[in-house]
Structure 1
Amino acid sequence: MAAKRGRRLPLADRPLTEPHPARLPAAHPRRAAILAAHTTALDSGDAGYLDPGTGLFVLTASFLARRGTCCDQGCRHCPYLA
């Protein structure tokens, strides 16, 4: 079975530290903790971090940007979503 190829898109016009509001709304109850974990992972060069509420592994915007394509899986920090 062939792997699904992602769509090549330009990066969104926002910093990698700022997720799209539809993926992490301003009113999200754990937004500050999530953004702090994301920033720590970005600063460390890590591919992702553990979500403070669920413990699930979340990929960083920089990792997703380096990959070069959008996977259409609804990533929280998708750097391609405009």
Structure 2
Amino acid sequence: MKKIIPIEEGDFYWTPEGYRCFTEQYHLKRGYCCESSCRHCPYGFNTKTHSQK
């Protein structure tokens, strides 16, 4: 089971479309790449090669 990361200020923002968008700060706290091509992914996941930098 994965660890639950508490949401803090600066971890996300709302897009104009109404979606929650997680920031690089949150991804680094989480500690791993989910391979979902997140907008602010600090791990450099590439959807074309399915690999990280």
Coarse TM-score class (shorter-chain normalised): 0.5 to 0.7
Identity %: 35
Structure ranking higher on relative contact order (CA contacts 8 Å, 6+ apart): 1
Do structure 1's residue 80 and structure 2's residue 43 form an aligned pair? yes
Question: Which one has a bigger Cα radius of gyration?
Answer: 1
| Map of 2:47 onto structure 1 | none
- Return the TM-score normalized by structure 1: 0.42
Structure 2: any 5+ residue segments left out of the alignment? Answer: 3-7, 45-52
Compare the two structures and name the one with the higher helix fraction: 1
| Map of 1:68 onto structure 2 | 31
Cα distance between partner residues in 1 of 2:24 and 2:10? 11
Cα distance between partner residues in 2 of 1:62 and 1:45? 10
1:78 alignment partner AA:
C
Count of paired positions: 40
Structure 1: any 5+ residue segments left out of the alignment? Answer: 4-43
